[in-house]
């Protein structure tokens, strides 16, 4: 038992020694203890194996651990808002049992290591609100268990890997606020059949929305505003039967508003302002009975507001800018 502890405990103590924390919150991390299982932020299973480290909002100040290989049962690593700096170690790819990594709201820099794509059990990867740069790893599609992927508010660049289409369990994908993230949204995004939230606002994503967007039968929010989208909104958007919020404002979208938007019975917010959309407002839009906010201003629309549209406002159901 002592030998088992030395591997696990020593890994934790070595990381503690690399930190500049002055709060004393890790004083319980004592080498004289027979087990690390009672240390602050450390949780073990019934076999005495460390399964979770949760130090959220503790002022740790220092680097991420690169020596946790002895923690072979570690499933959850929560180090958000802890003033961590430096790069994500390639050794993270060795922590094969991890299901949750939350390193958000720190000052991490460097690239997301490709090695992290080895983690086939990983369900949640939260790296948002850091200073990470470089491309999203091309092997991201190997994370076959991934449900939540949040990369927003970093300095990422390059294109969204086509392998993202392999993430059949993905529900949340948010990578907005990375101004140098560029290229088209890949057609493969349509294979993310469980996607609920797609957030790519304030990026340099360009080109047309792919027609495969219509395959996202569970999508509730599409937020790709203040970007470089062009071309027409695909008619297939009408197949997104669960869509509640469509935020595509401040782009260069052209063409007409698709009539099939009228099939979106759960649509609540439609924000398309400041584009180059042409033609008339389709009568079918009045069929969106849940619509409460619509902004079509600063476009090239012509014609009159449809009567079907006006009934919604007479009923006090919606507000609009047209």
Q: What percent of the chain has pLDDT over 90?
A: 87
> Tokens in use for 254?
């052209």
Q: Confidence band (pLDDT; 50, 70, 90) for 306?
A: confident
Given a cut of 70, whether residue 70 has pLDDT beyond it is: yes
- The per-residue pLDDT for range 198-218, each reduced to its tens digit, is 999 999 999 999 999 999 999
Is the pLDDT assigned to residue 5 strictly greater than 80? no
| Domains, the chain, ordered by start | 132-321 (3.80.10.10)
Q: Which of 13-22, 82-91, 121-130, 308-317 has the lowest mean pLDDT?
A: 308-317
Is there a contact between 285 and 256 (Cβ–Cβ < 8 Å)?
no
Cα(143)–Cα(164) distance, rounded to whole angstroms?
9
pLDDT confidence of residue 8: 77
Q: Could you give the CA distance from residue 190 to residue 214 in angstroms, rounded to a whole number? A: 7
Percent of the chain with pLDDT over 70: 94
CA 284 vs CA 51, 276, 287, 308: distances in Å: 53, 20, 6, 8
The more confidently predicted of residues 299 and 25 is 299
Residue-wise DSSP of 270-283: EE--SS--EEPPPG
- Average pLDDT for 250-259: 97
Q: What is the pLDDT of residue 315?
A: 45
**Four-residue CA torsion sign, 93, 94, 98, 101:** negative
- Asked if 168 and 141 count as a contact pair (C-beta separation under 8 A), the reply is no
């Amino acid at each position: 038992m002592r030998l088992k502890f030395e591997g696990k405990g020593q890994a934790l103590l070595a990381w503690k020694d690399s930190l500049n924390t002055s709060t004393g919150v890790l004083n319980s991390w004592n080498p004289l203890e027979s087990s690390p299982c009672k240390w602050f932020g450390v949780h073990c299973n019934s076999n005495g194996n460390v399964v979770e480290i949760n130090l959220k909002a503790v002022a740790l100040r220092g680097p991420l651990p690169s020596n946790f290989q002895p923690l072979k049962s570690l499933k959850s690593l929560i180090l958000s808002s802890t003033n961590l700096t430096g790069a994500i170690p390639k050794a993270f790819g060795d922590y094969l049992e991890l299901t949750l990594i939350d390193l958000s709201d720190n000052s991490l820099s460097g690239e997301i290591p490709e090695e992290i794509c080895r983690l086939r059990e990983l369900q949640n990867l939260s790296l948002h609100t850091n200073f990470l740069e470089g491309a999203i790893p091309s092997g991201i599609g190997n994370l076959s268990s991934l449900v939540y992927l949040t990369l927003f508010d970093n300095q990422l660049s390059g294109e969204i890997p086509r392998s993202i289409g392999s993430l059949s369990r993905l529900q949340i994908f948010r990578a907005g606020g990375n101004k140098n993230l560029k290229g088209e949204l890949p057609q493969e995004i349509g294979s993310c059949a469980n996607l609920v939230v797609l957030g790519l606002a304030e990026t340099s994503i360009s080109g047309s929305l792919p027609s495969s967007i219509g395959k996202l039968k569970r999508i509730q929010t599409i937020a790709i505003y203040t970007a470089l989208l062009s071309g027409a909104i695909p008619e297939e958007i009408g197949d997104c039967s669960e869509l509640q919020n469509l935020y595509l404002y401040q782009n260069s979208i052209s063409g007409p508003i698709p009539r099939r938007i009228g099939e979106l019975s759960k649509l609540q917010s439609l924000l398309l302002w400041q584009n180059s959309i042409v033609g008339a407002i389709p009568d079918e839009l009045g069929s969106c009975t849940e619509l409460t906010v619509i902004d079509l201003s600063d476009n090239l629309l012509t014609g009159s507001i449809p009567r079907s549209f006006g009934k919604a406002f007479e009923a006090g159901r919606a507000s609009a800018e047209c």
